[in-house]
Amino acid sequence: MVQLRYFASLRETLGVSDEAVALPEAVVTVAGLQRWLQERGAPWRDALADDHLLVAVNQEVSDRQAAVNDGDEIAWFPPVTGG
């Protein structure tokens, strides 16, 4: 199982803030997870296609090639606007 989290406008678009999911064996990277989530159809397909979306694996911003492993917390969010 991995813990997925969604923030800000993405959370609102998807209508979900977090979920625990069992990853298929074929999903071993952030990019793979993204494609798998996009297969859910609308609104996932378009919302996750945004190249500006950031991904944090275990609370560290990561790139699409980063590995995802059982027990990870993977968060998706738009560019940050704090300060």
In the complex with other proteins, which residue's Cβ is closer, 18 or 24?
A: 18
CB 18, min distance to other proteins, A? 11
CB 76, min distance to other proteins, A? 11
Is 5 within 8 Å of 17 (Cβ atoms)? yes
- Judged by CB under 8 A, the chain residues 6 through 65 that form the site for other proteins are 7-9, 12, 56, 59-61
C-alpha 56/C-alpha 32 separation (Å) is 15
- Helix residue ranges, H only, the chain: 8-14, 30-38, 44-47
Is 14 within 8 Å of 43 (Cβ atoms)? yes
CB 33, min distance to other proteins, A? 18
Q: Is 69 in the site for other proteins (CB under 8 A)?
A: no
CA-closest candidate to residue 3, choices 13, 12, 15, 16 = 16
Q: Which residues bind other proteins (CB under 8 A)?
A: 5, 7-9, 12, 56, 59-61, 75, 77-83
